[in-house]
Amino acid sequence: MAGMAETSPGPGTAGGTGPGAGPASGTRRVTIRDVAGRAGVSVATVSRVLAGNYPTSAAARAKVLRAVKDLDYVIDGRARALAGTGPKTVAVIVMSVDSPFYANVAQGVEQEAAARGRLCMVCSHGGDEARELALVQMMREQRAEFVVLVGGAVEDERYRARLTEYAHGLAAAGSRLVLCGRPAPGPDTPVLVVEYDNEAGAYAVVSHLLSAGHRDILYLGVLPGYSTVEPRIAGYRRALADHGLPPSAERVRGYGLGRSHGYDAMRQILADCDGRPDFTAVFAGDDQAAAGAMAAMREFGLRTPEDVSVVGYNNDALAQDLNPPLTTVNIPSYELGREAVRLALAEAAASPARATTQKRHVLGTHTVLRDSVARPRH
Amino acid sequence: MAGMAETSPGPGTAGGTGPGAGPASGTRRVTIRDVAGRAGVSVATVSRVLAGNYPTSAAARAKVLRAVKDLDYVIDGRARALAGTGPKTVAVIVMSVDSPFYANVAQGVEQEAAARGRLCMVCSHGGDEARELALVQMMREQRAEFVVLVGGAVEDERYRARLTEYAHGLAAAGSRLVLCGRPAPGPDTPVLVVEYDNEAGAYAVVSHLLSAGHRDILYLGVLPGYSTVEPRIAGYRRALADHGLPPSAERVRGYGLGRSHGYDAMRQILADCDGRPDFTAVFAGDDQAAAGAMAAMREFGLRTPEDVSVVGYNNDALAQDLNPPLTTVNIPSYELGREAVRLALAEAAASPARATTQKRHVLGTHTVLRDSVARPRH
DNA sequence: ACCGAAGATGTAACCGATTACGCGGCGAGA
DNA sequence: TCTCGCCGCGTAATCGGTTACATCTTCGGT
């Protein structure tokens, strides 16, 4: 099907049989009543034929289908939704679809939702809290089956309170809030959480640097209070400590993630030390920052990995095309999205009445080894 | 807040309307009638207060607002849509949100639509035609104000026919089809088109190579019949011809775009010529392919741009992080999305009744110069 | 020939909003 | 004091579907 076989006279040409069948003038929308009239049956029969969930005679079915085709009838999704049938919709709200991480998560949600017969809305607020709020409200109004909120945020008390309000509001409407890549705002909030282990990923990749012989490792990209960044720094610290290094070995520098922040921060750092860094390796908060840092180092004549080793975080597509290809931590962004949907659906099946529980899934990370790490010079 | 306790006797007790008044357990959704009951006014008043488009007394307004807050009432977007008010929705259908180009266009549509009070659904079919069809159908059912279809496609007769059917179907439902980055399927189809000048972009970047002294330029990345690729090859050919080179100078090789195709094709080519290429520059069909080609060349000991110059197409974010940074053709992907929305809305304002016209906008491209081009060796 | 079950279809009551229409109350002008 | 007009508000029709319930066949069993 879907083949539009049976070259029906296109909607433009559909003249044919009926009275005033030409869609050319009739500006009113074609309703189920029109179909019923043309087929000579009742609206109930039309509805049943179209839904296919009730026995109908072959004769009636044929007449209805014919009328539908003649009139080019398209059922009204909103009316159908109002009546309680039709496909459910789910929503995913991200900061921006430009970023590969968000895009991947959104893609995962989309795919899994589509596979389960839901249609999916992807919306973005560009970091604007007011817009985020408006989006959640809209999804509540649309009676979205659940809302996936993805990405980190600065976890201050005010924001946590807001999240709690979202969750309760959604729950009250029979819906659900799913947090993706960010922790729950509190223990009693009815949210579903799908996370990945930020701290462990950081621990592993820093351990990799340590076992390559590095002792002076710079962490690049601070974002105070940010829920995805703090654990990475914590993992960095724990790795250092576990290898017997004193706290004085910690070097945490540079504000912000993303390419330009990484670039600017590294330029500043290298300028301050006159091009002779006191570190032999860099752990960048994300791959974009790593790319920026590498660009800055190149400008100072520092080669990767001969002079300074570099590792990143995220395993963006770009990581493999840097020169040299970047060793980094893979986060299962796509799976994160799929899992969010699965979790929400499973939860809805388990307790259809009202969301009250909180569930949490943690997906694993792993470091992917490429060519940006070597043993330190000395 | 969102405390939702407030000892309200539960929605439904106010009017005592329904047969078998809801038992304590069945948490029915709170409707406008519940609000009216609690506020001691009629549903009309509630609606008017909430819409704010009709004079209401301060007393009534206060009571209604109070009841809304107490009951945590959220208006039903579907019912409102059915009644003909509420925000309109627009849809954008892409191949995948993973790809930077699609993501950018989607972002542009999203932003512009949001700025104009529409809510926006982003959906993707992974190149699956059946799914694309289903998506368009769904958007028709949702009565989307317009549907943006983005990206190239192989332009065979069958596909063109399909597009024509989409357009007519949407037009019949009072909606509109907007094509983004792809030509109209025919002159009489009611579609809106926003394109960028593929051919001119290719012409410009190849001219850049030519004026740097290159005479042996390889085009990499064929995709027969594909609407975005063919013009690039045409531009390449025209540039060569305009510089007085004979058709025999044309070298068009390699099937497919994307990183892996570029990598594989270049490996094959270099293997065939034993690492001694008969070209001094490469024009890759997109930046990803350029990245792959550069990786392959590196494996053969060929440096960019000292041994071979490289240019790409798209100006993906990745282009600036390749080593060396890639000279490429910028396409205004973000603007493409915004313009699609503007065009559709302008058109809808112009002829509210029924879409019948076809409009076309072409956005410009420009080449961005970076470090991947040098004068040829000899 | 009669009765009841099963099957197909029609009627009308929903779903939850918006809004045209009509009515009561109140202030102003005669 | 009696209208007239306006303002605020309630009643009910409407949007376009779904579906419980009633109705009308038709058919098999005895």
pLDDT in tens, A233-276: 999 999 999 999 999 999 999 999 999 999 999 999 999 999 99
Structure tokens at B355: 């879409």
- Is there a single domain that holds both residue A211 and residue A308? yes
Confidence class for position A355, pLDDT limits 50, 70, 90: low
pLDDT in tens, A79-88: 999 999 989 9
pLDDT in tens, A294-352: 999 999 999 999 999 999 999 999 999 998 999 999 999 999 999 999 999 999 888 76
Can you tell me the distance from the alpha carbon of A94 to that of B162, in angstroms, rounded to the nearest whole number? Answer: 33
Looking at residue A350, its pLDDT comes to: 83
Q: Which residue is nearest to nucleotide C6 (CA to C1')?
A: A55
Q: Measuring from the CA of residue A85 to each C1' atom, give the nucleotide at the shortest distance.
A: D18
- Is there a single domain that holds both residue A281 and residue A307? yes
Q: Which residue is nearest to nucleotide D9 (CA to C1')?
A: B45
Higher pLDDT, residue A361 or B377: A361
pLDDT in tens, B313-335: 999 999 999 989 999 999 999 99
Contact between A328 and A286 under an 8 Å Cβ cutoff? The reply is no
Residue B327 buriedness (CB in 10 A; 0-12 / 13-18 / 19+): buried
- Is there a single domain that holds both residue A26 and residue A75? yes
- Is there a single domain that holds both residue A191 and residue A337? yes
- Is there a single domain that holds both residue A154 and residue A63? no
User: What's A114's domain CATH number?
Assistant: 3.40.50.2300
The C-alpha of B127 sits at a distance from chain A's nearest C-alpha, in angstroms, of: 13
Q: Does B5 contact chain A (CB < 8 Å)?
A: no
Task: Give, in degrees to the nearest 5, the angle at Cα B238 between B185 and B192.
Answer: 20
Looking at residue B370, its pLDDT comes to: 97
Task: Give, in degrees to the nearest 5, the angle at Cα A363 between A359 and A368.
Answer: 170
Q: Measuring from the CA of residue B59 to each C1' atom, give the nucleotide at the shortest distance.
A: D8
The predicted model gives B27-41 an average pLDDT of 91
Looking at residue B154, its pLDDT comes to: 79
Identify the domain boundary among B63, B86, B109: B86
Looking at residue A352, its pLDDT comes to: 62
Contact between A220 and A253 under an 8 Å Cβ cutoff? The reply is yes
| Cα distances (Å, whole numbers) of residue B4 to A168, B11, B96 | 9, 12, 40
Given a cut of 70, whether residue B18 has pLDDT beyond it is no
Domain that holds residue A282: 198-331
- Is there a single domain that holds both residue B309 and residue B228? yes
Contact between B177 and B166 under an 8 Å Cβ cutoff? The reply is yes
The predicted model gives A102-131 an average pLDDT of 92
Q: Check if residue B42 sits with its Cβ under 7 angstroms from strand D.
A: yes
Contact between B301 and B308 under an 8 Å Cβ cutoff? The reply is no
Identify the domain boundary among A28, A59, A86: A86
Q: Which of B94, B321, B357 to mutate to test the interface with A (most CBs of A within 10 A)?
A: B321
Can you tell me the distance from the alpha carbon of A61 to that of A68, in angstroms, rounded to the nearest whole number? Answer: 10
* Contact state of B322 with A317 under an 8 Å Cβ cutoff: no
Give a yes or no: residue A58 inside a domain: yes
Given a cut of 80, whether residue A16 has pLDDT beyond it is no
Can you tell me the distance from the alpha carbon of A293 to that of A317, in angstroms, rounded to the nearest whole number? Answer: 17
The predicted model gives A162-182 an average pLDDT of 90
Strand C nucleotides, any atom under 7 Å from protein beta carbons: they are 7-12, 14-20
Give a yes or no: residue B274 inside a domain: yes
- Is there a single domain that holds both residue A25 and residue A148? no
Give a yes or no: residue B210 inside a domain: yes
Task: Give, in degrees to the nearest 5, the angle at Cα A47 between A42 and A50.
Answer: 130
* Contact state of A123 with B120 under an 8 Å Cβ cutoff: yes
Whole-number Å distance, CA A318 to C1' D1? 89
Given a cut of 80, whether residue A4 has pLDDT beyond it is no
Whole-number Å distance, CA A37 to C1' C2? 38
Confidence class for position B355, pLDDT limits 50, 70, 90: low
Q: Looking at the 3D structure of chain A, how many domains does it have?
A: 3
User: What's A81's domain CATH number?
Assistant: 1.10.260.40
Nearest to A47 by CA among A22, A87, A76: A76
Kindly report the average pLDDT of chain A as a whole number: 89
Helix (H) / strand (E) containing A103: helix A100-115
Whole-number Å distance, CA A73 to C1' C7? 28
Identify the domain boundary among B64, B86, B108: B86
Given a cut of 80, whether residue B353 has pLDDT beyond it is no
Give a yes or no: residue A96 inside a domain: yes
* Least confident among A152-156, A231-235, B78-82, B86-90: A152-156
E-only strand ranges, B158-263 = 177-180, 191-196, 217-222, 251-255
- Is there a single domain that holds both residue A101 and residue A177? yes
Cβ-based neighbours of B240, under 8 Å, separated by 6 or more: B206, B210, B217, B249, B250
Q: Check if residue B84 sits with its Cβ under 7 angstroms from strand C.
A: yes
Angle subtended by helix axes A198-211 and A230-242, to nearest 10: 40
Query: From residues 302-341 of A, which are strand C contacts by CB within 7 A?
Result: none
Q: The pTM is what? A: 0.88
- Is there a single domain that holds both residue A253 and residue A188? no
The predicted model gives A92-96 an average pLDDT of 93
- Is there a single domain that holds both residue B81 and residue B95? no
- Is there a single domain that holds both residue B360 and residue B287? no
Looking at residue B26, its pLDDT comes to: 52
Looking at residue A59, its pLDDT comes to: 93
Q: Which residue is nearest to nucleotide D14 (CA to C1')?
A: B83
Torsion sign over Cα B338, B341, B347, B348: negative
Please tell me whether the peptide bond between A324 and the residue prior to it is cis, using omega within 30 degrees of 0: yes
Torsion sign over Cα B293, B367, B97, A256: positive
- Is there a single domain that holds both residue B281 and residue B245? yes
